[in-house]
Structure formats: C-alpha cells, structure tokens
A and B are shown apart, each in its own frame.
Chain A
C-alpha cells in the first residue's frame, strides 16, 4: 500500500508509492549529445562575458584573461538589474517595485568537459568558497534581502550550456518558499526551543537508515518525505544558520562530503540531471537559532505535472530508506 508522509519542516505531504519500488537501475538516463562549437565560458573566451567580479587561481593581476581556476561574472542579459532604486509602491491591493537584483554566473572550471562529480576536492572547495565570498560582498548592498545559489546540471534540469557552472541571484525580497520554510522552523522553535533541522539530524544519526554519507562536520541524508527519488539534503551537523559563517577548515570538510555525495549520486544513476539549491538565512536574519543552512539536491528523475502543481503533493516511487541504502552501498570508482 502507498504511504503518505509529511515533511516535518513545511508540512508538505508526499505519496511514497512503495509497491512501484523503482531502483536506481530503473532510471536509465541517456547521455545528452554534446552540442560542441563556441563556448563563452571556456578559458580563452573571457572577452565574451561581462567583466568578472571574482576570480581565483591567476598568478597575475590582469582581469578577464586566461590563467584562472574559477571565475564569477554578472549575467550578460540579466533578468534583474543592479543599478537603481527599488521604488516600492502599491497599486490598489497589489505590490510592486523595480526589478533590482544581482544575477551572477559561477564558472566552476576553465575546462569545458569537467563535471562536478569528477572534479578534485580542491576545485569543489573553490566553488563552495566562491559562493561564500560573493554572498559576503553582495550582503553589503542594503537593497538585498536574500541570496540564492543554485546549479542546473544538464538540459533536462534547465542548463543550456554543458560547461560546468552554477548561478547566484540576489533578490530584494525573501522568496516565499524560503520564507515559508523559515516560518515553519520558527513555529517549531517557539514550541520546542530547538532547531527542527538539528532534531532531524539527531534522529537520522540515531536511526541511520536514511544517511548517505557523513564526516565529522556534515551529513548527507535522504529526507523522510522526499519530493523525488534520490532527493538528498546536505547539512552541517552543528547548528549554523548562515552559510557565510563557514571558515576555511569547514569549507575543506564541506568540499569533501559534497564531492562524495555527488560521486555517489552519479554512480547510482549515471548521467542523471539534477538541480541543487543552497538555502541559507535571509540577509536581515543572520545567525538565528531556529534556522539551519543546507543544500537540497534534486535529481531530475520524474516529471512535475498537474497533480503536483495543483496540490503541492509529490509522488515518489523510491522510498528514501531504499535510496539511501543504495547510495551508501554503491561502488565508487577511485
């Protein structure tokens, strides 16, 4: 019989269709054809991007030139613009403001064919460090309320370029999904005086059935009520609400587990498209007791359609306990 499960944070229900029990081998993902041709993100083509706002790895000081290990550039055709005032106003019951924001692209590697799950841990650390460093810079802009970092991997997950990249968008509002998550965490905290994510981590460590991997500082789990097969959350074990508080040694530790997590995912379902999203506290609510930063990793193995859009329910054909077991036990190539 299928099982209804409730996410303890935002109260979202999912249907775990246990009897279908799809194993990773049921998700055969065909390799996407390589499009080839000119790539604006490759080393040597720096002139085709807007001027970089951050670069690591160059031994000289000439911006927008080769020799880098990672670059961050503003979006060439941004949906939101950085210059201007918000000019918030009401129009009857409706609210509006100018489309102010920052939209940046993190070019994760100079090489076109590198993929995240095969990168050295040191390169993954640079990626994670760039998220922190760009957030720290953009936080100084008083117009912004929230910064989201995300990655779309492969066309099916929304990526239009093969060259490995992630994106950052600074917004003048806190997105409602994040606000809903934070409000729910606050309600839990008001009731129990504990962070709900800390309680989840404690319980997962005690039971162990949904753990994918862990190290001394971080843990990756398949959540109790996942929206899709093989959904994973990566969290710091210690209470930390704000990603920008990560120091160098924590970044080392995060890079190690993030690398392992992505390797396990690709080993379980080769070529799987995915999205990941970094959820951290809003810019006006740093270091709060009731929230816990984390990375949500969503493999693209199913279609979101009318039922999901209409109800907010999700149907998941792989119970997280089975997904976690498979991810834990999958053989990694060294």
Chain B
C-alpha cells in the first residue's frame, strides 16, 4: 500500500456498494476501507484518519446525518460526501454540513468528480 495514496472511508449498510466503490475507486488510485454502520465509521474515523468519507444516509442504527454531524464536530476539514438513493434528503438542511450530495448510481462519474474536487481542494 503506497503511503501517498489518499484514503477514502465508505460508510454504507449494503455490501454490494462496498464492492462497487472499492473496485472503481482503487482503480482511480485511492485506498478504500468500508464499514457497514455509523457506529463503526465513527470508531474508524479517528484511527484511520481518512482523507474523504463517502457516507450513506439511510442506515440502521445511527443514520448518516448523525454520523455527519459527529464527524464534522471532530474534524471539520475532512470532506464528507453524502451518497443516498433518495434525492429528497437533499431538502433536509442537516445535509448542509456535508461537502456534497450525490444521488447513488451505478455510474460513478459524478461521485469520482466530486471526490477529486474535494481532495484537491484540501491539498491546495
């Protein structure tokens, strides 16, 4: 594992999303780790110190909005992209704490553009 690879933490309760993101994002040169719940994500957020987080909203247990609030409270500079199958959550003002909101799709072009933009912004 190369030391200069940017680290992405994927938080989603669906394992097929983990597989899809891992395959596509590792191909882009990122290191990817995935967890199935908000609780696990918060634990890993401290120890793994990701450069960016991709976060689902609708999850059993702690929902993505709660995880987002706690992550931004801990490290506001780490970009968090909300990724949900439900565009209506965009109207939830709590999602404003995120850096972007992408509606889930099997075509990851929009997500990849957003990741690149936010990682580059943080490096500038």
Pairwise interchain contact B97-A39, C-beta atoms closer than 8 A: yes
Residue in chain A with minimal CB distance to B82: A77
Of listed A41, A45, A76, A79, residue having the most chain B CB within 10 A: A76
Contact partner, B73, options A37, A48, A77, A105, Cβ 8 Å: A37
Taking A36-B69, A37-B69, A38-B72 as contacts, is the C-beta distance between A48 and B90 under 8 angstroms?
Answer: no
Taking A79-B90, A160-B92 as contacts, is the C-beta distance between A38 and B101 under 8 angstroms?
Answer: no
Residues of A contacting B101 with CB < 8 Å?
77
Task: Output the least CB separation between A167 and chain B (Å).
Answer: 9
Judged by a CB distance under 8 angstroms, whether A40 is at the interface is yes
Complex CA distance for A43 and B17, rounded to whole angstroms: 36
Complex CA distance for A105 and B101, rounded to whole angstroms: 18
Chain B window 40-67, contacts with chain A (Cβ cutoff 8 Å), 1 for yes, 0 for no: 0000000000000000000000000110
Residues of A contacting B69 with CB < 8 Å?
35-39
Taking A37-B66, A37-B69 as contacts, is the C-beta distance between A77 and B95 under 8 angstroms?
Answer: yes
Q: How many residues of B contact A (CB 8 A)?
A: 18
Judged by a CB distance under 8 angstroms, whether A49 is at the interface is yes
Question: Would you call the interface of chain A mostly helix, strand, loop, or mixed?
Answer: loop
Judged by a CB distance under 8 angstroms, whether B123 is at the interface is no
Judged by a CB distance under 8 angstroms, whether A71 is at the interface is no
Residues of A contacting B76 with CB < 8 Å?
38, 45, 48
Contact partner, A161, options B70, B90, B94, Cβ 8 Å: B94
Residues of B contacting A328 with CB < 8 Å?
none
Judged by a CB distance under 8 angstroms, whether B91 is at the interface is yes
Judged by a CB distance under 8 angstroms, whether A263 is at the interface is no
Complex CA distance for A49 and B94, rounded to whole angstroms: 11
Complex CA distance for A105 and B76, rounded to whole angstroms: 22
Chain A residues in the interface with B (C-beta under 8 A): 35-41, 45, 48-49, 76-77, 79, 105, 159-161, 165
Q: What are the 6 A-B residue pairs with the smallest beta carbon separation, nearest first?
A: A37-B69, A38-B72, A77-B90, A40-B96, A160-B92, A38-B73
